[in-house]
């Protein structure tokens, strides 16, 4: 501090510190912007496949189609997997999980609130509920609680994946700095 000056001389650190205590540089903001673009592209693709793709049985129905019994459709697809084909079984089960993995993976990267597991869990569930409700209202596909369960599981899997990567990255950085 210079003598005679009323205010101490301050130096401003232009680095940002995130919730994990890691220093984020300006490139992280670019990284988040890229993830936002990827997230929007993902949502557009998800919208197409959930509502407009004829290959996934998204043609209109005359009546409302719904399943309110948890695991009913999963059991049915498993029981009749030889008749329906393994592709149909995997598409229904694994496909519903995998289609929401990007949701749970990207959300914690672009949103600070997404870094809390129950927020990602809740948002995955609500997004799936929204999709299933739109399918029911417009008679495109069906409202299926099994799909909601599998989609939410996919969102949580994505969250766990990005969390695991962050832990490994943090340990690798700490290990590299200790050498």
* pLDDT tens column, 58-100: 666 778 889 999 999 999 999 999 999 999 899 999 999 999 9
pLDDT at 69: 96
> Is residue 7, in this structure, part of any structural domain at all?
no
pLDDT at 179: 61
pLDDT at 141: 82
The long-range contacts involving 125-130, CB below 8 angstroms and separated by at least 24 positions, are 125/151, 125/152, 125/155, 127/100, 127/103, 127/151, 127/155, 128/100, 128/152, 128/155
Q: Does residue 140 contact residue 58 with C-beta atoms inside 8 Å? A: yes
pLDDT at 144: 95
Length of the chain: 179
pLDDT at 52: 86
What domain range includes position 169? 16-173
> Is residue 54, in this structure, part of any structural domain at all?
yes
pLDDT at 26: 46
pLDDT at 9: 39
Q: Does residue 123 contact residue 107 with C-beta atoms inside 8 Å? A: yes
> Is residue 31, in this structure, part of any structural domain at all?
yes
> Is residue 4, in this structure, part of any structural domain at all?
no
> Is residue 24, in this structure, part of any structural domain at all?
yes
Residues of the chain where predicted confidence (pLDDT) is lower than 50: 1-27
pLDDT at 24: 43
The domain tally of the chain equals: 1
Max Cα-Cα span within the chain: 89
pLDDT at 71: 96
């Amino acid at each position: 501090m210079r003598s005679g000056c009323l205010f101490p001389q301050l130096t401003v650190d232009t680095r940002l510190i995130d919730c994990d205590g890691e220093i984020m540089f300006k490139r992280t903001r670019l990284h988040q912007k890229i993830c936002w673009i990827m997230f929007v592209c993902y949502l557009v693709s998800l919208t197409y496949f959930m509502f407009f793709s004829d290959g996934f049985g998204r043609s209109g129905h005359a009546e409302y189609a719904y399943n309110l019994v948890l695991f009913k459709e999963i059991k049915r697809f498993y029981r009749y997997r030889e008749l329906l084909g393994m592709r149909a079984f995997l598409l229904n089960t694994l496909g519903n999980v995998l289609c929401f993995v990007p949701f749970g993976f990207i959300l914690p990267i672009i949103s600070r609130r997404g870094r809390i597991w129950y927020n990602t869990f809740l948002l995955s569930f609500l997004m799936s509920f929204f999709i299933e409700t739109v399918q029911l209202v417009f008679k495109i596909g069906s409202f299926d609680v099994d799909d909601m369960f599998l989609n939410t599981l996919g969102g949580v899997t994505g969250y766990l994946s990005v969390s695991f990567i962050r832990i490994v990255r943090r340990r690798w950085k700490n290990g590299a700095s200790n050498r």
